[in-house]
Chain A
Amino acid sequence: DGGITQSPKYLFRKEGQNVTLSCEQNLNHDAMYWYRQDPGQGLRLIYYSQIVNDFQKGDIAEGYSVSREKKESFPLTVTSAQKNPTAFYLCASSSPSGTQYFGPGTRLTVL
């Protein structure tokens, strides 16, 4: 089955820790995205990548980092510099028509 997988489903972080969220797609899409979702705020773009080995900051990139070494993978690292990381994180990829498809999400909680 084609789709987007994210792991883990739930993640707990201690203060001062870096954590990495995984996103993999087998849709052969060039573009991939990371969003953060908070109650009452909708989805906000963290980082996006239009092609392998290239990525750009979105609207709320501070405290996050990404890499795009393979077309299928776009991991997101939440660093200790992110002061309020508790949120639902969504990965997406887009087809040549531009339509974005989302993964199931990772819920990150700071202990």
Chain B
Amino acid sequence: QKEVEQDPGPLSVPEGAIVSLNCTYSNSAFQYFMWYRQYSRKGPELLMYTYSSGNKEDGRFTAQVDKSSKYISLFIRDSQPSDSATYLCAMSASISFQKLVFGTGTRLLVSP
């Protein structure tokens, strides 16, 4: 079993929809959680960074962490065609040096 599980998709939604992307993990030591967006043939771009449990909002994006269930989510409101990309979750147990463990990524397609 992988340390971090993520549905590869693709997830297809119409423009304006609310998108929910999720990851589950098995290592209870993880405390730092990140979401990256990766366009085709480009490097990942950091979207959200959260520590421990709770919610964090940034514009149309909301990151949610439920450590009791070992489950993290990224919500995208009012999705746009420009949101079409692969979304990678990543997590780490340490802040001083981050050996990140990545999910495999979920491919999102937002149609106009």
* Binding partners A and B: yes
CB distance from A22 to the nearest CB of B (A): 14
Interface residue tally of chain A, by bracket? Answer: 20 to 34
B55-94 contacts to A, CB under 8 A, are 88, 90, 92, 94
| A104 to B56 Cα, complex, angstroms | 27
In the complex, whether B104 has a CB less than 8 A from a CB of chain A is: yes
Contact indicator A40/B43 (Cβ below 8 Å): no
A97 cross-chain contacts in B, Cβ below 8 A: 95
A102 cross-chain contacts in B, Cβ below 8 A: 36, 43-45
Contact indicator A43/B102 (Cβ below 8 Å): yes
| A31 to B98 Cα, complex, angstroms | 9
| Nearest A residue to B42, CB-CB | A104
B4 cross-chain contacts in A, Cβ below 8 A: 42
Given contacts A43-B88, A98-B92, contact A105 B43 (CB under 8 A): yes
Contact indicator B92/A40 (Cβ below 8 Å): no
Majority secondary structure, B binding face: loop
State how many residues of chain B have any CB contact under 8 Å with chain A. Answer: 27
Majority secondary structure, A binding face: strand
CB distance from A9 to the nearest CB of B (A): 9
Contact indicator A107/B97 (Cβ below 8 Å): no
Indicate which residue in B41, B49, B99, B102 contacts A42 across the interface (CB closer than 8 Å): B102
In the complex, whether A100 has a CB less than 8 A from a CB of chain B is: yes
CB distance from A49 to the nearest CB of B (A): 10
Q: A42-B88, A100-B34 are in contact. List 5 more A-B contacts (CB 8 A).
A: A42-B6, A43-B88, A90-B43, A98-B94, A104-B43
